[in-house]
Amino acid sequence: MTTHVTSFRMTNRMNCFKRVQPEVERFAMAHGLSPKCTFHLTLCLDELITNIIDYGYADFDEHPIDVTITLENGCVSVRIEDDAEPFNLLEAPPPELEVPLEERTKPIGGMGIHLVKTMMDGIEYTRKNGRNILLLRKCVCDDGALAGAPHE
Amino acid sequence: MTESKENGITILTVNGNLDAEGTQALEEKVLALLDAGETSLLFDFTGLDYINSSGLRILVLAYQRLKKASGKVAICGVRDYIQEVFEVSGYDKIFPLFRDRAGAVGSM
């Protein structure tokens, strides 16, 4: 089966959404991903990279963030690699979903990561050579995402 | 983003993307309305393509401020994939979600 890949580099000085959204949109259009799947991918990249940019760096230097999106066998994989402080989102505490909003200590805390964990089918985190490597996986065959895919 | 008024309800119509810039503009607008004493806010998201957790934070802020003032906040017109964001975050239980503006204005 054909593998489709796109890669791009951004930095912590860039506007996250404006850099990420056109890349995801272009990839999704080219390979017939559904609007819902496109939204999930954009949202997850936006949430995760915004976190890296806002909380990941102890200095004020410019840092690269590398993103690779792969479509293979009905699954989209997203790889994010950065040289920010170690951060394993799998260990991040969940938001207080069961506590009424008025009583939550952090009403919105952790919500971005909760959205990512819910919308993706698989998450792997590795810290290697001073870099965070995050692998996200989402199966797109179950929501009709590839229904309109162009014929190979 | 446009602002209108119907039956004493202030309606904020947000089109396009609530990305970092859009969210900041919405926050400033919502804070100005709350400071001016508005107590009924309806967000019309019929033309909204994108929202993230920062955008949700503004809705929660409006909810928390209006709750103290015995006010009301509701949302209408969200498309299916944005509705899912409300469900996943549990906010569909906090905010009344209406199919369209007429239904929201009639019920608020």
Contact of A96 with A116, CB cutoff 8 Å = no
Span A54-65, pLDDT tens digits: 999 999 999 999
Span B32-86, pLDDT tens digits: 999 999 999 999 999 999 999 999 999 999 999 999 889 999 999 999 999 999 9
ipTM reported for the complex surpasses 0.90: yes
Asked if the Cβ–Cβ distance from A115 to B89 is below 8 Å, we say yes
Q: Is B93 on the interface with A (CB under 8 A)?
A: no
Give domain status of residue B108, yes or no: no
Residue B87: give its domain's CATH number. Answer: 3.30.750.24
Between B48 and A1, residue with greater pLDDT:
B48
Asked if the Cβ–Cβ distance from B67 to A102 is below 8 Å, we say yes
Between A61 and A142, residue with greater pLDDT:
A61
| pLDDT at residue A112 in the model | 93
Average pLDDT, chain A: 89
- Euclidean distance between the first and final Cα of chain B, in Å? 21
Average pLDDT over residues A88-107: 75
Residue A13: give its domain's CATH number. Answer: 3.30.565.10
Residue A102's domain comprises 4-139
